[in-house]
Chain A
């Protein structure tokens, strides 16, 4: 398996609530810095069949909660194919409210409940009020590595034990005000992190692309250098300082 890393950008006009197209720009940019060929394919609507056979990463960006039930309903027919895709090492990323698509179930404020694709062991519950703040957590998969961004929390997340999390909260609300941030089952990943996530955390982006490249037996031509990530690194320092003042 070689060729080009293929990223499916799901429903760009529907799921773009928080500057999320920056995530796709970052995947393209970081792949370019690594010397990895990447192709981003827009999948415009949930009733389109997903070309999973050649895809490596599916991106579900944040959107309005009201649209999630419809997305789940349209994708339901492809649920088995999505499970198989993930089982074979494909990445499925959901950011913010689109976690409802991958979850078991979401309960809205008015009491209505809609089912998700049940690809992650988690439940979503719509909050009475929005919580917006910075988010900073340590990655579980890489000791010492941290992720920084923001969260606009419309849904609280309850994990079904023994679910794996993406990281441990240093600052922020995480899933529901506790220590946990995100949820992970193999390469199916949910995170609350906005920013955009892949822009503000280029090394995390590079790790994902490198993992995909290894799977495809592609060799990155180079690694990220401090010069490549100068602005992101300096931003991290300043925002960390800002957050530490809040924590004091």
Chain B
């Protein structure tokens, strides 16, 4: 039983109230004048006035603060957990729009507070950016912290996974209850740092795979540095594993284990309970089981978890479709600086054995300054399953890095006469090329902004 701790009246005084009211006015004006834009601006304003803002609300039960962090799966897990708690009639403050930096957390809290700073929701469920977790936790520590995975990501600012690992470790207290991905080595190693960890995992299933190629690489053990060995993968770099030297390993029976996964029937089981499987890409399973684990620990019944899953609609922009002529373009989002999402996208496409066109739009990286042309994570990915899945033709487009993407395909064994290289980002040129081919299924991997641009172009035709 967690000790009850309710935040006391001492909240930061005048600065807090000034921040709260000015931020609310700012939010009102934004909603009036430019709805949907600058959604975290009120939070930024609040933090500027009172840097400890998020820790100064009254009536927050610290036992009911849940953060979800990690490289991938934060948003889906957060959204599903919030949906489950709402289904259970629990009032929850959640940053659904993925605003996971301190300003986003601030906006979410002020949206659920009275003018006098009294917090009005029961639970706080926040997706938190890994780098900002120590800052956010300093002011509002979580009783429950879910770490979905720690992988190579946004290398231009993060450098290496160990830097993110350190940020997460920095935010831990011994009493934090961790929810950890049983099949991801970095997260499993965090268990040694707290008093209590709850593991969740996914059984080997029809979409699990092994890697045997000569050029297969894994990762160093986060504990001792020796190579990690994966017995099988459920998704890239996540699966049943053991360190080749120390005792770090996945468990065969984590507390919450998705098993009997039936993709055609869209169901899976946890314990004796059968749950619906709304989206059957394997990486979603980890989001579902993580949300179920946290919800069950909070006290929500399996039936309510299942009901929430049945109604669950994921956030936009992960898997989408658009039409052109008689063709369906299936879009899968990827993060160019995170090889696991690119590999998951490739594996998803490869599972469809029908003839297809493969459209790859890696691009310049413009999230941070300086903008640059990193495409090297394509070499962390395996393309052989994709190549074996009846790809009639490959099209690589980008104003700058189309030839690098095409070269990766050549390295994977695709003959050049099956590749079209478009050194452009022009929507018309891309669609015109796609329409040349007599194949009604197209799979597109590119950035979300590019998908939206192509979608808008097709809508306008």
Task: Report A1-19 CB contacts with B as 1/0, cut-off 8 Å.
Answer: 0000000000111101111
Beta-carbon contact of A238 and B227 below 8 Å: no
Measured between alpha carbons, how far is A125 from B214 in the docked complex, in Å? Answer: 34
Chain B residue at minimum C-beta to C-beta distance from A63 = B220
Binds B, one of A156-164, A174-182, A193-201, A218-226: A193-201
B380 within 8 A of A: yes
Measured between alpha carbons, how far is A21 from B411 in the docked complex, in Å? Answer: 12
Task: Report B158-176 CB contacts with A as 1/0, cut-off 8 Å.
Answer: 1111110000000000000
* CB contact list, A13-48 vs B, under 8 A: 13-14, 16-22, 24-26, 29, 40, 42, 44-45
Measured between alpha carbons, how far is A24 from B377 in the docked complex, in Å? Answer: 14
A13: contacting residue among B152, B227, B416, CB under 8 A: B227
B219 within 8 A of A: yes
Measured between alpha carbons, how far is A235 from B423 in the docked complex, in Å? Answer: 9
Given known A13-B219, A231-B406, A234-B423, contact A239–B159 (CB-CB < 8 A): no
Q: Chain B residues near A26 (CB, 8 Å)?
A: 411
Q: Chain A residues near B423 (CB, 8 Å)?
A: 234, 238
Beta-carbon contact of B163 and A130 below 8 Å: yes
Minimum C-beta distance from A39 to chain B (A): 11
Q: Chain B residues near A22 (CB, 8 Å)?
A: 376, 379, 411
Given known A45-B226, A130-B156, contact A65–B162 (CB-CB < 8 A): yes
Chain A residue at minimum C-beta to C-beta distance from B156 = A132
A52 within 8 A of B: no
A154 within 8 A of B: yes
Q: Chain A residues near B217 (CB, 8 Å)?
A: 12-13, 16, 21
Beta-carbon contact of B400 and A21 below 8 Å: no
Q: Chain B residues near A17 (CB, 8 Å)?
A: 152, 160
Given known A29-B411, A235-B404, contact A150–B219 (CB-CB < 8 A): no
A231: contacting residue among B156, B374, B403, CB under 8 A: B403
Binding site for B on A (CB under 8 A): 11-14, 16-22, 24-26, 29, 40, 42, 44-45, 63-67, 70, 97, 129-130, 132-134, 150, 152, 154, 194-196, 199-200, 230-232, 234-235, 238-239, 241-242, 246
Give 24 pairs: A residue, B residue, CB < 8 Å, sorted on A: A11-B227, A12-B217, A13-B227, A14-B220, A17-B160, A18-B155, A19-B380, A26-B411, A42-B214, A63-B220, A65-B160, A66-B225, A130-B157, A133-B156, A150-B372, A154-B160, A230-B416, A231-B406, A232-B403, A234-B421, A235-B407, A238-B400, A238-B403, A242-B364
Closest A-B pairs by Cβ, 6 of them:
A132-B156, A22-B379, A19-B376, A19-B379, A13-B227, A130-B159
